[in-house]
């Protein structure tokens, strides 16, 4: 029945524990991703650090973690289904880590970035040149917009996503938390 519980099961469930560890892990994952998104939007709109296309791609997994992590806390979802959702969130964190690692490598000039983000673009006509002059510039993926202690935002996304994936995987593997 898709992992949904009936209202009778919800009310009969053990509510003696103030905080259930499985729910706490999902809440932590969801809040961490929401905090990451809040910080990048603050950097973008508050400090005028405009993202490149790879930066935008790194936001997508965190959006899904924040949304699905929050939705999985609904009372109608049982523990087994929550655990499966947390395993999926681990995959999303690893996707974010992979994107962050790729972007950090592009910034360090270890490998080329996508054509839409770096490199010289072919110009077809003078009209293309003139239309390009009126558009706001987007930073290249190979340019570090901000670095703290020698680590760019893409590097911090890599580190943070790996830590969140490891913590979420640990929580998902704990069978006693999902009973």
Total domains in the chain come to: 1
Strand spans (E) along 33-170:
147-148, 151-152
CA atoms of 66 and 35, how far apart (whole Å): 9
Tell me how crowded residue 3 is: count the other CB atoms within 10 A of its CB.
Answer: 15
Which of the pair, 27 or 152, is modelled with greater confidence? 27
- Is residue 146 situated within a structural domain? yes
Which of the pair, 89 or 125, is modelled with greater confidence? 89
What residue has token string 């680590």? 151
Domain interval for residue 157: 19-112+140-178
What are the φ/ψ torsions at residue 152 (nearest 5 degrees)? -80, 175
- Is residue 166 situated within a structural domain? yes
Over 80: is that where the pLDDT of 149 sits?
yes
- Is residue 123 situated within a structural domain? no
Question: Residue 120: its pLDDT value, please?
Answer: 46
- Is residue 3 situated within a structural domain? no
- Is residue 72 situated within a structural domain? yes
- Is residue 44 situated within a structural domain? yes
Tell me how crowded residue 47 is: count the other CB atoms within 10 A of its CB.
Answer: 10
Question: Residue 143: its pLDDT value, please?
Answer: 73
Total-model pTM: 0.76
- Is residue 103 situated within a structural domain? yes
- Is residue 28 situated within a structural domain? yes
């Amino acid at each position: 029945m898709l992992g949904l519980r009936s209202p009778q099961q919800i009310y009969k469930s053990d509510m003696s524990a103030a905080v259930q560890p499985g729910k706490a892990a999902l809440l932590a994952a969801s809040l961490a991703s929401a905090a990451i998104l809040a910080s990048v939007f603050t950097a973008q709109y508050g400090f005028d650090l405009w993202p490149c296309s790879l930066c935008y791609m790194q936001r997508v997994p965190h959006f899904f973690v924040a949304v699905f992590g929050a939705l999985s806390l609904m009372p109608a979802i049982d523990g087994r289904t929550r655990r499966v959702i947390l395993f999926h969130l681990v995959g999303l964190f690893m996707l974010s880590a992979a994107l962050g690692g790729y972007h950090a490598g592009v910034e360090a000039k270890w490998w080329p970035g996508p054509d839409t983000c770096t490199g010289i673009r072919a110009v077809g006509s003078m009209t293309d040149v003139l239309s390009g002059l009126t558009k706001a510039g987007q930073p290249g993926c190979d340019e570090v917009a901000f670095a703290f202690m020698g680590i760019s935002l893409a590097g911090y996304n890599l580190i943070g996503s790996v830590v969140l994936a490891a913590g979420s995987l640990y929580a998902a593997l704990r069978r006693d938390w999902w009973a």
